[in-house]
Structure 1
């Protein structure tokens, strides 16, 4: 089973998925942003945003090949990236964070004020959540609010998504007052 863990940069995806992988032998986590860089699965470099433009078709093919070749016995393949919702998945966990807190997290890790503000606005507008619902449907999307949660609590919420013990949810989190 594939589970995509997505959300605006800074919502806690990588930290939570790493904790999930440490806690569970049946979970194989792939950090897609590392794959994109390491395998050069991008079409261009966006100098202004200091990022790359991922080749989603090439990334999807890489994930399919990886999944077919893996022999670790893991039952669950967890895909971690702000782009994960663009790939095939059985379930999609969308991590959310209040825009003000998100911008601070991004600035604290060295992102520019412009990039932090752009991502905070994207979070307020539900961009990733909307795309996830459009691509996978309401019954496959699980919104997880991370602003006041510990990484361990977020990891536990992800485990519930993986296990199918959490009900799908989308649209419960509202940050429009940020705008």
Structure 2
């Protein structure tokens, strides 16, 4: 997978464009990476429902949980499935609607200056080796184009929306992920 700086799209991943995005504010610099988790229905993997959700095609009659989220219009830039497969929904140059009401470093509206990566999972189920490998590869390329995203500017959704969000949850191995990023610098 290779990131094209001119377009903000990765090659070598599945493209599944979402309508749930808009332009970043003029002159806004990308300086934050937000890690999330999602599974639809909750704790069910490989269903294709995340892709439908981010494209506003989820059928609320298919599952009671879908009824509770049918009003939402959300997306992330990238989604990493359990097997490490990556899907991109929004160009990294555009503003995906992943963070919601959020604040980081005294600034509200984190969607304006962040990139959102969703991991297929739940707060309390371990993520897979393939997911960590893909996440590290994505992060390495993102940071090479936006060096303002230092280690202190890679956060969980729970960090930027405390009390409202809990993902990626205690199952996410931050020490493992950060150690892998530090190895990249060695």
Q: TM-score, normalised by structure 2?
A: 0.30
**Which has more helix, going by share of residues?**
1
Q: TM-score, normalised by structure 1?
A: 0.31
